[in-house]
Amino acid sequence: MADSRTRRAAPTRRRETVGAKRGGSAWAPRFAAALITLVLAVVVFVAVAADSARSPGPNPGGAPDGQGTPAETATATTPAGEPSPTAPPPTATPTAGPDGTVVVTCGDILAPVDKVHRLPADCVPPDLVQLPASASAGGAQYLRREAADALLAMFDAAREDGFELRVNSAYRSYETQAATYNYWVQVNGQAYADRTSARPGHSEHQLGTAADVGARGLFLEDFAGTPEADWLAENAWKFGFVVSYPDGKEHITGYAYEPWHVRYVGRDVAEAVHRSGLTLREYLLQR
Ligand SMILES: [Zn+2]
């Protein structure tokens, strides 16, 4: 999909102003520092208490969120203060931010990413590799190494069955997703865009493990019902991929049917999801 449009400064909603206390007087710098620390501690405590009392439901406002402040995203995984070097997966104890979204850990291939859970704006996954041109429907496409290897193995298997699959779109940066989403808002309006395109930070494509798979130069919209789409639905799990947005599950996934959109979660999880009959979102959230 062509996304050349970029501009649009989303209205910034209220900014939590924590801190920025200005300097104490010269006569007792230590006392001033201690006082500031105490004030900050109280402010943080009140903010956390207020957040936890708030409903973690979807963002009610119309404005695209996702442009969270770096400070907000940086502290999201350690609500208790001291950074634990071996922190458990963030999915275990998500904390909703002021806008109702939950920031997940960059690099976690099993992080839920949906309309509530989002990646930090500055998250660029590690070990991105470029797919060979033969696997791309056009342009340079990138996936994380493990996902790329699995995808190429899947494409080989498809070829043996007579189907030539290609990647239309794989890794997308936060900025690219912002442009993509804004483009679709301009073309189709926000309500429709929200059914078909993720807001920045909320796209599985930013994980570096998701790919839109097509064939024969078809538009993705025309992929449903093709033998290639059937092949993908039947076989993706064997290679560690899951079709994230199955037919008839929009009320759960938040997105209309996308037979072309697969996400790599590893062989074991993909098989478990396949057997469970759950959507990937349900599976990851109940893990
Ligand atoms: Zn996609």
Q: What are the tokens at 189?
A: 């309006």
Q: What is the pLDDT of residue 272?
A: 98
Question: How far, in Å, from the CA of 158 to the mean position of ligand 1?
Answer: 19
Cα end-to-end distance, the chain, whole Å: 33
Question: How far, in Å, from the CA of 112 to the mean position of ligand 1?
Answer: 15
**Enzyme catalytic residues:** 258
Q: What residues form DSSP beta bridges with 166?
A: 214
Q: What residues form DSSP beta bridges with 143?
A: 129
- Residue 169 DSSP label: E
Is 70 contained in some domain?
Answer: yes
Q: What's 267's domain CATH number?
A: 3.30.1380.10
Q: What is the pLDDT of residue 21?
A: 37
What is the pLDDT averaged over residues 279-283? 97
Q: What is the pLDDT of residues 18-32, one digit of tens each?
A: 333 333 344 455 655
Picking from 74, 61, 65, the residue whose alpha carbon sits closest to that of residue 101 is 65
Question: How far, in Å, from the CA of 261 to the mean position of ligand 1?
Answer: 4
- Biggest alpha carbon–alpha carbon distance for the chain: 81
Give the H/E segment covering residue 273: helix 267-276
CA atoms of 284 and 210, how far apart (whole Å): 15
Question: How far, in Å, from the CA of 169 to the mean position of ligand 1?
Answer: 7
Contact 250, 257 (CB under 8 A): yes
Picking from 274, 279, 263, 275, the residue whose alpha carbon sits closest to that of residue 110 is 263
Q: What are the tokens at 81?
A: 């203060």
State whether residue 66 is helix, strand or coil.
Answer: coil
Domain total for the chain?
A: 1
- Percent of the chain past pLDDT 90, that is, above it, reads 63
Is 238 contained in some domain?
Answer: yes
Confidence at 46, pLDDT banded by 50, 70, 90: very low
Contact 170, 205 (CB under 8 A): yes
pLDDT at residue 236 is higher than 60: yes
Q: What is the pLDDT of residues 84-133, one digit of tens each?
A: 334 344 444 556 777 889 999 999 999 999 999 999 999 999 999 999 99
Rg (CA), the chain: 21
Question: How far, in Å, from the CA of 168 to the mean position of ligand 1?
Answer: 9
8: CB partners within 8 A, 6+ apart: 182
Is 16 contained in some domain?
Answer: no
Query: Whole domain around residue 47: which residue ranges?
Result: 1-11+21-287
Q: What backbone torsions phi and psi does residue 79 show, to the nearest 5 degrees? A: -65, -25
To the question of pTM greater than 0.75 for the whole model, the response is no
Is 52 contained in some domain?
Answer: yes
Question: How far, in Å, from the CA of 281 to the mean position of ligand 1?
Answer: 15
Question: How far, in Å, from the CA of 76 to the mean position of ligand 1?
Answer: 26
Is 119 contained in some domain?
Answer: yes
- Percent of the chain past pLDDT 70, that is, above it, reads 67
CA atoms of 156 and 71, how far apart (whole Å): 44
Question: How far, in Å, from the CA of 213 to the mean position of ligand 1?
Answer: 8
Number of Cβ atoms within 10 Å of the Cβ of 50: 11
